[in-house]
Amino acid sequence: MGGFCGIISKEDCVSDLFFGTDYHSHLGTHRGGLAVLDGGVFQRAIHNIQNAPFRTKFEGDYGKFHGHLGLGVISDTDPQPLVVASRLGTYALVTVGLIANIDELMDEMYRDRRMQFQFSTSSGVVSPTAVVAALIDSKDSFVEGIQYAQQKIEGSCSLMILTDKGRFIAARDRYGRTPIIFGKKESGLMATQESCCFPNLGYEHLRDLGPGEIVEATPEGLVTLVEPGPEMAICSFLWVYYGYPASTYEGRNVEMARYRCGGHLARRNVVEADSVGGVPDSGISHALGYAHEAGLKYARPFVKYTPTWARSFMPSDQRQRDRVAAMKLIPIPGLIRDKRLVFCDDSIVRGTQLGKQAKRLYADGAKETHMRIACPPLLYPCRFINFSRSKSVYDLITRRYIREVEGPDADISKYQNPDSPEYAAMVEYIRSKLNLTSLAFQRLDDLVASIGLPKDRLCTYCFDGKDVSFGERHCAKGCANCPCKCASQRAAEKDAQ
């Protein structure tokens, strides 16, 4: 995943930039970067943050950098910010998103002799931000270039640009899959992905950019360069999992949405229990909502050791993910032994970690373990945002079950309906596989109601295989059997081989 922060100010911006970027650390564990414009020259630093937090790695730069404009980024994809010298001038660039068709774009650009951009690699992987820069530089202005890049990219791309002439441009993804939110105080503006930056740094919410909107910021305000588009598909998983509880997107706060999620789960899935707990961190908010609605005691049978352990979805290696998940959660035996426990968690992907957690609970003497999941079953790997480490559709426990029962060409739509016998059989398979007393998933309509936005403004692709970018070309069986030839479909076909 990743997140970014940008500031344009009448005063030195480095302190606000440093802490504003740090407030995005929950979105990535690989690299952090800062670029500050000082007298027309960029000061830049990029550090590996896998073994030390952002603040520790950038403390030295914090004392050395000075300037009124800056960009900061937490990235799990490539070293950023990128500083580019091009026909449009010299500028710093940060991006958040996923370029699903990066190989096709590179082949196309290599064939076009007008595009002489040199792609550097890190560990043999081309920088997605460099590809975005090449697309932008192929046009005669930043606005034309950004629109062209967003048109060509299959996936998503939100970005910020800071030029050596002092221009600060922000552009939200074409379908608004990731947010860009502006805050304002007397000295200037801050643009972030996470609005939780604002209160402690003295900013007040100004406004969210619309899907595809491009703006230029000054210390006094925003000038719209391209109006928002009519269609939005902001990622619903922001509210389920990876958004920060204190952040608000499109006017919908994360913590409050998770409370409502828990309440819906309690009303739909009544069970007698001694207490309700949440799998830390995101499951806690869902569990509080569940406990309040069900009239049950809230307890913490697991506590998370937060100082050093990252989110377990971030490492690319499965063994490392398992290690992180096992080490960061510490049981409290007195809250487990002889207890009937309800646990809320954000999602089930592979099922590996949850199965091990259930095994630990029984080993510590739990009588019953009832798992409640805050989102519907994941039936499609995300093809639009880089928050999932899944490389195959069969990383998902749901799809492994469906393939086992019906083969690779099954009609997936049957398993999306929570009232169908196929759905019930799938849930029972997962329950049995993970050795749970009972298991229930959130219904999609309840999730949408919990978030509070219309469904046609949310991306729910990972649950129902539907997305605004497919239009009428999408079919009920899922992208692997869809007549469209998008990068998502090609990747799915490759996975199925």
Q: Environment class of residue 408 by beta-carbon count within 10 Å: exposed (0-12), middle (13-18) or buried (19+)?
A: middle
pLDDT number for residue 389: 62
- Residue 189 Rama label (left phi>0; alpha psi -120 to 50; beta): beta
Helical segments of 329-441, H only:
352-363, 397-406, 421-434
Give residue for tokens 């919990």: 450
- Whole-number Å distance between alpha carbons of 158 and 156: 7
Domain regions of the chain by residue span: 2-231, 252-496
Handedness of CA 352, 494, 398, 433 (dihedral sign): negative
Instruction: Kindly state the tokens that stand for 265.
Output: 């789960």
Question: What are the C-alpha distances in Å from 350 to residues 31, 356, 369, 388?
Answer: 26, 12, 19, 11
Handedness of CA 145, 113, 128, 469 (dihedral sign): positive
Which letter does DSSP use for residue 460 in this model? -
- Contact predicate 33/65, CB 8 Å: no
- Please give the backbone phi and psi of residue 211, each rounded to the nearest 5 degrees, phi first: -60, 125
Nearest to 137 by CA among 167, 107, 155, 161: 161
What CATH number is given for 252-496 in this structure? Answer: 3.40.50.2020
**H/E element, 149:** helix 142-152
Give residue for tokens 């919908």: 252
pLDDT number for residue 481: 38
pLDDT number for residue 469: 82
Nearest to 187 by CA among 11, 6, 7, 36: 11
- Contact predicate 232/211, CB 8 Å: yes
Beta-ladder partners of 204? 184
pLDDT number for residue 489: 47
- Give the three-class secondary structure for 368: strand
What CATH number is given for 2-231 in this structure? Answer: 3.60.20.10
- Give the three-class secondary structure for 441: strand
Give residue for tokens 């000075």: 66
- Give the three-class secondary structure for 204: strand
pLDDT number for residue 471: 56
pLDDT number for residue 390: 65
**H/E element, 214:** strand 214-218
Residue pLDDT tens, the chain, 497 long: 799 999 999 999 999 999 999 999 999 888 999 999 999 999 999 999 988 889 999 999 998 999 999 999 999 888 999 999 999 999 999 999 999 999 899 888 877 765 555 555 455 567 899 999 999 999 999 999 999 999 999 999 999 999 999 999 999 999 999 999 999 999 999 999 999 999 999 999 999 999 999 999 999 999 999 999 999 999 999 999 999 999 999 999 999 999 999 999 999 999 999 999 999 888 999 999 999 999 999 999 988 886 665 544 444 555 665 666 667 788 999 999 999 999 999 999 999 888 888 999 999 999 999 999 999 999 999 989 876 666 689 999 999 999 999 998 899 999 999 999 999 999 999 999 999 999 999 999 999 999 999 999 999 999 999 988 875 334 434 444 343 444 444 444 444 44
- Whole-number Å distance between alpha carbons of 443 and 374: 9
- Contact predicate 137/145, CB 8 Å: yes
- Whole-number Å distance between alpha carbons of 479 and 384: 13
Report the amino acid identity of residue 411: D
Strands 89-99 and 155-163: antiparallel
Handedness of CA 245, 24, 102, 403 (dihedral sign): negative
* Residue 107 C-alpha from the chain's centroid: 28
- Contact predicate 9/186, CB 8 Å: no
Report the amino acid identity of residue 157: C
Buried b (16+ CB within 10 A) or exposed e, 116-147: ebeeeeeeeebbbbbbbbbbbbbbeebbebbb
Give residue for tokens 């799938």: 426
Angle at 147 between CA 142 and CA 153, to 5 degrees: 120
Beta-ladder partners of 36? 43, 70
